Amino acid sequence: MKIALAQINYHIGNFESNVEKIKTAIRQAKDSGADLVVFAELAVSGYPPRDFLEFDDFINKCQQAITDIATKCKGIAAIVGSPTKNPEFHGKNLFNSAYFLADGKVRNVRHKTLLPNYDVFDEYRYFEPNKKFSIIEYKETKIALTICEDLWNIGHDPLYTVNPMDELIGQEPDFMINIAASPFNYNQHQTRNCILKKNVKKYGIPLFYVNHVGAQTELLFDGGSQVIDGNGQLIDELSYFEEDFRIFDTNNLEPSQLPKPIEKYPADNIKIGLIHDALVMGIRNYFQKLGFTKAILGLSGGIDSALTLVLAVEALGSENVLSVMLPSQFSSDHSVNDSKTLIENLGSPAEIIIIEEAYQAFEHSLKPIFKNLPFGLAEENLQARIRGVLLMALSNKFGYILLNTSNKSEAAVGYGTLYGDMCGGLSVLGDVYKTEVFGLARYINSEKEIIPENIITKPPSAELRPDQKDSDSLPEYDILDKILFQYIEQRQGPKELIEMGFDEAVVKKTLKLVNTNEYKRHQTPPILRVSPKAFGMGRRMPIVGKYLA
């Protein structure tokens, strides 16, 4: 049997576009002599459709899409993910399903058993878990069809008490097909390959796996669809971060001669390379899917905005990213000069607006109330907010989306001004620690200097008061980031952190900053997720909580 894997960038709720892409791939597969073409989980709706699933109208549109696609499945079969209605009175109203389409109609439907409900996943919010298990027979072949998480219960902390493949294997399937919507993080390619291989080793039959690719706001999908033979050998792996399409013959599974997608990255810098490509895709798709082409950002002379600019230029084209320099009396000369050099290197447009005039006006208007109180946090924030107002004015006037340039270390400890530098439609670096920001800058400069060296080497500063340095208020970033990683990604508590050797006072101060700044993060733009634990939909914290605060 010849099986085509179609790795597609879907758009949530854009049925017209999703159906068109699916039909095109069916045509392509049929023209290439495939017997079956496999699409991803919830392909017709895009993933995650979130609470659109609560609308009958939305579910009906999914069903119409399936009916429409089925008509194209003549002389070829297709597996397509879609929500379906649960006909039972008890239980949730929907299943997360895989349709097997053939002979112009729906031939079989299988439902997802294991519903991920952790981190960014909310599937038990919508779906009833499957409880019946049967293989699909097609052209004298027996297929064990499962959906994403169904294969993921064989790690070191199994979250579910059943295992769908344990139920199916007794029916002697010839191979497994798994359709997925498994989002990227910088460990995901390894985790995914490991889990899939474990399944093959356990069940002893080949596996055909199709994932989503592309960005849906914060969730990035890297693709990596693949085929593993019955011995656990990787036959082929589709591209990362782009659409792809390949055909395999089940009777002749020979390892592909094509380079694996991971080989594109320098072996000693895979993580940074992956983050780089993920962020570029994340920006590009955010704009495409919202129908925008142009970005704006404030270029401070610091490394975060410099890196954001480079990534945006890669994603959108240099002509489509406007940098605005917004110096104040506290900005160092090198800030503007370094920014100008960067802009020249990129050939992208720029503007300068001095914030002094607006600052003076605010100071004057506030004087009757502020009286002679000394310069402080309010005045620092005022500068950041004036910049936010100016950038948003340009955004509104000319139809730019403002890119936020805050990094994860700042977001974690609340080192940023709400409605100031925390403005933006999309946070590019909000899941990238400061130490990783440096890594990305070095990675970008690895062939030639794009980001001026001085931007990378100067001590980080918000430049909101004379001679300010980040290290005046925060631990050095190499310590801070380690504590933050242990607390945020690894969920270690104060006791464990102190046992690891971090200074007790620094630990307590840091965790308190993280927890008391939840109110700020509540109002940040969506953050492109590249780590296993990003701020945003995958990390849900109380605001009035009084824990470690």
The reply to whether 108 sits near its own copies by the rule CB under 8 A is no
My answer on whether omega of the bond before 48 falls inside 30° of 0, hence cis, is yes
Query: Known catalytic residue: 148?
Result: yes
Distance, in Å, from the CA atom of 196 to the CA atom of 175, rounded to the nearest integer, reads 13
Q: Which of residues 298-337 bind its own copies (CB under 8 A)?
A: none
Please state the closest distance from residue 404 (CB atom) to its own copies, in A. 10
Q: Which of residues 147-206 bind its own copies (CB under 8 A)?
A: 157-161
The reply to whether 57 sits near its own copies by the rule CB under 8 A is yes
Neighbours of 548 (CB within 10 A): 16
* Inter-residue contact 2 to 253 (CB < 8 Å): no
Which residue, 110 or 520, is less far from its own copies as judged by CB? 520
Which residue, 267 or 544, is less far from its own copies as judged by CB? 544
C-alpha Rg value of the chain to the nearest Å: 26
Which of left, alpha, beta for 403 (phi over 0: left; psi -120 to 50: alpha)? beta
From 33, 91, 204, 266, residue interacting with its own copies (rule: CB under 8 A):
91
The reply to whether 56 sits near its own copies by the rule CB under 8 A is yes
Distance, in Å, from the CA atom of 393 to the CA atom of 43, rounded to the nearest integer, reads 38
Which residue, 54 or 137, is less far from its own copies as judged by CB? 54
Which residue, 317 or 494, is less far from its own copies as judged by CB? 494
Find the catalytic residue in 30, 72, 128, 148. 148
Dihedral, CA atoms, 242, 214, 529, 382, nearest 10 degrees? Answer: 110
Please state the closest distance from residue 187 (CB atom) to its own copies, in A. 18
Find the catalytic residue in 21, 30, 112, 294. 112
Distance, in Å, from the CA atom of 403 to the CA atom of 526, rounded to the nearest integer, reads 11
Distance, in Å, from the CA atom of 173 to the CA atom of 397, rounded to the nearest integer, reads 60
The reply to whether 494 sits near its own copies by the rule CB under 8 A is yes
From 217, 323, 335, 341, residue interacting with its own copies (rule: CB under 8 A):
217
Which residue, 157 or 268, is less far from its own copies as judged by CB? 157
Please state the closest distance from residue 393 (CB atom) to its own copies, in A. 5
Q: What is the b/e burial string over 100-139, where b = at least 16 CB atoms within 10 angstroms of the residue's CB?
A: bbbeeebbbbbbbbbbbeebbbbbeebbbbbeebebbebe
Q: Which of residues 391-450 bind its own copies (CB under 8 A)?
A: 392-394, 396-397, 418-419, 423, 425
Task: Fill in the DSSP letter of residue 71.
Answer: T
* Nearest alpha carbon to residue 301 among 156, 436, 458: 458
Which residue, 92 or 271, is less far from its own copies as judged by CB? 92
The reply to whether 496 sits near its own copies by the rule CB under 8 A is yes
Distance, in Å, from the CA atom of 412 to the CA atom of 75, rounded to the nearest integer, reads 55
Measure Cα distances from 519 to 12, 403, 413, 514, 545 in Å. 29, 21, 11, 10, 10
The reply to whether 524 sits near its own copies by the rule CB under 8 A is yes
Q: Which residues pair with 296 in a beta bridge?
A: 322, 402
The reply to whether 372 sits near its own copies by the rule CB under 8 A is no
Neighbours of 176 (CB within 10 A): 26
From 254, 376, 476, 499, residue interacting with its own copies (rule: CB under 8 A):
376
Which residue, 505 or 541, is less far from its own copies as judged by CB? 541
* Nearest alpha carbon to residue 212 among 431, 48, 37, 20: 48
From 351, 476, 478, 504, residue interacting with its own copies (rule: CB under 8 A):
351
Q: List helix spans (H) across 399-426.
A: 408-413
In 8-85, DSSP assigns E strands to 36-38, 77-85
Please state the closest distance from residue 269 (CB atom) to its own copies, in A. 30
The reply to whether 521 sits near its own copies by the rule CB under 8 A is no
Distance, in Å, from the CA atom of 119 to the CA atom of 116, rounded to the nearest integer, reads 9
Query: Known catalytic residue: 194?
Result: no
Stretch of 47-55, 200-208, 270-278, 439-447 contacting its own copies, by CB under 8 A: 47-55
User: Which three-class secondary structure state does DSSP give residue 311?
Assistant: helix
* Inter-residue contact 87 to 58 (CB < 8 Å): no
Q: Which of residues 461-490 bind its own copies (CB under 8 A)?
A: none
Helix or strand (DSSP H, E) at 110: strand 105-111
* Nearest alpha carbon to residue 96 among 54, 126, 131: 126
The reply to whether 381 sits near its own copies by the rule CB under 8 A is yes
Please state the closest distance from residue 62 (CB atom) to its own copies, in A. 11
Which residue, 109 or 394, is less far from its own copies as judged by CB? 394
Which residue, 31 or 157, is less far from its own copies as judged by CB? 157
From 333, 369, 448, 466, residue interacting with its own copies (rule: CB under 8 A):
369
Q: Which of residues 71-90 bind its own copies (CB under 8 A)?
A: 88-90
230 burial class (0-12, 13-18, 19+ CB within 10 angstroms)? Answer: middle
Please state the closest distance from residue 249 (CB atom) to its own copies, in A. 37
Stretch of 190-198, 282-290, 340-348, 429-437 contacting its own copies, by CB under 8 A: 282-290
The reply to whether 132 sits near its own copies by the rule CB under 8 A is no
Please state the closest distance from residue 221 (CB atom) to its own copies, in A. 13
Find the catalytic residue in 21, 41, 73, 123. 41
From 34, 272, 281, 382, residue interacting with its own copies (rule: CB under 8 A):
382
Query: Known catalytic residue: 54?
Result: no
Q: Which of residues 23-42 bind its own copies (CB under 8 A)?
A: none
Please state the closest distance from residue 5 (CB atom) to its own copies, in A. 25
Catalytic residues: 41, 112, 148
